[in-house]
Amino acid sequence: MPRHPEKGTEMSHFLDIHTTPQDELRAMIDQARAMKNARQGLPKGTPDAEQPLAGRMIALIFEKPSTRTRISFDVGARQMGGQTMVLSGKDMQLGHGESISDTARVLSRYVDLIMLRTFDEATLLEMAEHATVPVINGLTDASHPCQIMADIVTYEEHRGAPGGRKFVWSGDGNNVCTSWLHAAGQFGFDLTFTGPETLDPDAKAVEFARSRGSRVDIVRDPLVAAHGADAIVTDTWVSMHDPESARERRHNQLRPYQVNSRMMAEAKPDALFMHCLPAHRNEEATSEVMDGPQSVIFDESENRLHAQKAILRWCLGV
């Protein structure tokens, strides 16, 4: 683990699930669940009993819109005694030609941790390379690891350990799907992708999951894919990084992969329905499924808070 050059304490970047040691991911999930349990029944603004982020300043930088990531990081850091600043990339010199490496070095003189949501994964990696404080991936076009850490917390609190279970991803093999594949490899579950060939998941992520012994199947028929699933997961048909011109074609391609009661009926009776949100209701999933008894979508949103608190602590070694 690298040392913080100024403070001499340990620090780690949280850039992706497949690049984070398996036992440390496990420890973060356990800590997230313990911290969540310790807060049961408390008003949201109540400080945690422990204040591990006291005296720490956290920069939350967004080059894309966000509701969950922005608010859950902000609230979570404050509950642990930290201070936060939410910044829009376009309002910084970063959005007007200042280099990423200079921005990283400057920010590192002011703040103790940088959370970045950006487009190109290369921007995140360059920020991490030049920052002397930890950097967290708050989503890039390539992956969304914080979301899937929250989703593992969610699955575990409803159904226990995900190891050996069958997760089905229906729709676009996008950045969220990539992080699910990384998690399959790290947490030992199988993943079946169902969607059109043109929107297949990232080949490297598939290879990673398989290299760790997870079974990854690609099945074009959504009802066949859903058979015997422990969880069915989907996401919007058009992601933030997709061109608006792709919308109509995407809808036509992905309509057969809508998660509806027919698809859920193919899964196990106790299968969960998962979606990271925001959703386009009655497009990628019907409202009947989203609001139905198998849906855990709002628990996933809540667990962003708890999972990211554990990630913040891990990054700072506190």
Residue 121 phi, psi (nearest 5): -55, -30
Q: Least distance to ligand CP from the beta carbon of 65, Å?
A: 6
Amino acid at 277: L
Q: Which of 53, 59, 55, 60 is nearest to 77 (CA)?
A: 53
Task: For 42, list phi and psi in degrees, rounded to 5.
Answer: -85, 145
Residue 179 contacts ligand CP per CB under 6 A: no
Q: Which one among 12, 20, 66, 175 touches ligand CP, defined by CB under 6 A?
A: 66
- 147 in contact with ligand CP (CB under 6 A): yes
Integer angstrom CA distances of residue 155 from 89, 176, 215: 33, 16, 19
Pick the piece of the chain touching ligand CP (CB under 6 A) from 9-17, 47-55, 66-74, 161-169: 66-74
CB nearer ligand CP, residue 108 or residue 308 = 308
Per-residue mark of binding to ligand CP, 227-266 (x: CB under 6 A) = ----------------------------------------
Cβ at position 298, least distance to ligand CP in Å: 12
Alpha helices by DSSP H, 5-120: 22-38, 68-79, 100-110
φ, ψ dihedrals at 219, nearest 5°: -130, 125
At 102, list the tokens.
Answer: 């200079």
DSSP structural state of residue 42: S
> How far, in Å, CA of 285 to CA of 257, rounded?
9
- Contact status: 68 vs ligand CP (CB under 6 A): yes
Q: Interface with ligand CP includes 139 (CB under 6 A)?
A: yes
Q: Does 178 bind ligand CP (CB under 6 A)?
A: no
Minimum gap (Å) between residue 117 Cβ and ligand CP = 7
CB of 234 to ligand CP, least distance (A): 13
Which residues are marked as active site? 117, 144, 147, 235, 276, 304
- Segment lying near ligand CP (by CB under 6 A), choices 60-68, 160-168, 279-287, 291-299: 60-68
User: Side by side, which strands form the sheet with 190-194?
Assistant: 216-218, 190-194, 166-170, 231-234, 272-275
74 token code pair: 């902000």
Of 121, 166, 167, nearest to 144 by C-alpha is 121
Give the residue, chosen from 27, 92, 218, 277, that forms a contact with ligand CP under the rule CB under 6 A.
277
Residue written as tokens 């967004």? 62
Name the residue nearer to ligand CP (CB basis): 79 or 143: 143
Task: Tell me how far, at minimum, the Cβ of 269 lies from ligand CP, in Å.
Answer: 27
